[in-house]
């Protein structure tokens, strides 16, 4: 299938493009390079032997997007493009609502104009808010998100449900990611955040190469195994394979399909630090710091539905992810160069 991949040079998008190529599909990558480097195209080619078609387009630019849809018969869209830094979204809500919603509305209008009725959306466990209970199932209530970034995911899920209702033959697959970590084993691709990392794994990775002095553990008084926050960390390669598996839902009856993409296991901050040290032999210095606003005790998934309906489940371990993250960071101490 010819598949338009918006945000396809990003951390998850680029790994998904690789999985699509390996499965015999043709990804057409669109990215505005706000949070990605053009050189990722070369790295995808180095890994797969295939140079994917890439267009530097902002998904909010309806004219350019319309032109692309006119030139190429796209069969499905995987929509990653969007700002994703939780903390930044709190300080810049308008930027997040404008970009993440505007891009999605422009994309959907272009899709429908060109009779493209298959979309796989990069959603997030953040739509569950502060869970009443864990593990989270797809039937767990979608809640008001605790930040504008998460709220854009809640709103976009609702937009896709409403669009699907009134457009015959429309398929929307909502993939709710838990905590993506890891990197491509080659060390050519990995998580490459701008500035100081917000997320735990890239922060630990930068500590491991001495780029940051030590890890601050945000709180050790949560109701968890060791008092530190528990999350469901999924290797980005497993997550990418989840998108290839999600294409199977496009063969089902039209409608909205929702899947949790996680491992089904919770890991605490200190357990992740220990796993990283065991996987790499590198000591990670840390100090206990105050809780971070908006954090919750424990979030992890029940992924039975993705296995039963798509035949997908995560295969790689936390240690695999730690090893791959360290390998990527060591080979790219200043991130992916242009
Ligand atoms: C994980 C744990 C922190 C950094 C966010 C988004 C979610 C998704 C993944 C996009 C928590 C602790 C972290 C640090 C720490 N992103 N931590 N020190 O907050 O679970 O999820 O990123 O879809 O939508 O909400 O991920 O990696 O920031 O935090 O102690 O320097 O690590 O308190 O318990 P989070 P995270």
**CA atoms of 6 and 68, how far apart (whole Å):** 12
How far is the centre of ligand 1, averaged over its atoms, from the C-alpha of 201 (Å)? 9
Chain CA centroid to CA 311, Å = 20
Q: Which residue's entry shows tokens 């999605």?
A: 104
**CA atoms of 104 and 82, how far apart (whole Å):** 9
C-beta of 179 in contact with ligand 1 (< 6 A): yes
Q: Beta strand pairing status for 255-261 and 171-177?
A: parallel
C-beta of 17 in contact with ligand 1 (< 6 A): no
Return the best residue to mutate from 143, 199, 207, 235 for the ligand 1 pocket (most ligand atoms within 8 A of CB): 199
**CA atoms of 232 and 174, how far apart (whole Å):** 18
Q: Whose CA is nearest to atom 31 of ligand 1?
A: 200
C-beta of 273 in contact with ligand 1 (< 6 A): no
For the annotated catalytic residues, the residue numbers are: 149
Asked whether the beta carbons of 148 and 97 are under 8 A apart, the reply is yes
How far is the centre of ligand 1, averaged over its atoms, from the C-alpha of 18 (Å)? 26
C-beta of 167 in contact with ligand 1 (< 6 A): no
Among candidate residues 146, 172, 143, 134, the one with its CA nearest the CA of residue 263: 134
**CA atoms of 290 and 216, how far apart (whole Å):** 9
pLDDT in tens, the chain (338 residues): 999 999 999 999 999 999 999 999 999 999 999 999 999 999 999 999 999 999 999 999 999 999 999 999 999 999 999 999 988 999 999 999 999 999 999 999 999 999 999 999 999 999 999 999 999 999 999 998 889 999 999 999 999 999 999 999 999 999 999 999 999 999 999 999 888 999 999 999 999 999 999 999 999 999 999 999 999 999 999 999 999 999 999 999 999 999 999 999 999 999 999 999 999 999 999 999 999 988 999 999 999 999 999 999 999 999 999 999 999 999 999 999 88
How far is the centre of ligand 1, averaged over its atoms, from the C-alpha of 172 (Å)? 27
Q: What residues contact residue 215 under an 8 Å CB cut-off, 6+ apart? A: 203, 204, 207, 273, 284, 285, 286, 287
C-beta of 295 in contact with ligand 1 (< 6 A): yes
**CA atoms of 64 and 55, how far apart (whole Å):** 10
How far is the centre of ligand 1, averaged over its atoms, from the C-alpha of 289 (Å)? 14
């Amino acid at each position: 299938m010819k598949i338009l991949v918006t945000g396809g040079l990003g951390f998850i998008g680029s790994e998904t493009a690789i999985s699509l190529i390996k499965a015999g599909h043709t990804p057409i990558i669109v990215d505005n390079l706000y949070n990605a480097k053009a050189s990722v195209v070369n790295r995808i080619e180095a890994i797969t032997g295939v140079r994917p078609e890439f267009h530097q387009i902002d998904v909010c630019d309806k004219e350019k997007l319309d032109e692309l849809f006119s030139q190429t018969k796209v069969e499905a869209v995987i929509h990653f493009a969007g700002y994703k830094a939780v903390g930044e979204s709190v300080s810049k809500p308008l930027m997040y609502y404008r970009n993440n919603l505007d891009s999605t509305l422009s994309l959907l209008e272009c899709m429908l104009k060109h009779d493209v009725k298959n979309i796989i959306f990069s959603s997030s466990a953040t739509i569950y808010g502060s869970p009443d209970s864990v593990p989270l199932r797809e039937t767990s209530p979608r809640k008001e998100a605790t930040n504008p970034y998460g709220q854009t995911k809640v709103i976009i899920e609702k937009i896709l449900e409403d669009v699907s209702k009134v457009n015959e033959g429309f398929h929307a697959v909502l993939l709710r990611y838990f905590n993506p970590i890891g990197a491509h084993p080659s060390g050519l691709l990995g998580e490459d955040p701008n500035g100081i990392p917000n997320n735990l794994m890239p922060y630990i990775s930068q500590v491991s190469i001495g780029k940051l002095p030590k890890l601050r553990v945000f709180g050790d008084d949560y109701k968890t195994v060791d008092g530190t926050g528990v999350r469901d960390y999924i290797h980005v390669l497993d997550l990418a394979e989840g998108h290839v598996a999600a294409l199977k839902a496009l063969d089902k009856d039209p409608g909205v399909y929702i899947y949790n993409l996680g491992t089904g296991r919770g890991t605490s901050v200190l357990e992740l630090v220990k796993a990283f040290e065991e996987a790499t032999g590198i000591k990670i210095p840390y100090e206990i710091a105050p809780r971070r606003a908006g954090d919750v005790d424990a979030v992890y998934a029940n992924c039975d539905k993705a296995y039963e309906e798509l035949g997908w489940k995560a295969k790689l371990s936390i240690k695999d992810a730690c090893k791959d993250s360290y390998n990527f960071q060591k080979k790219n101490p200043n991130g992916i160069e242009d």
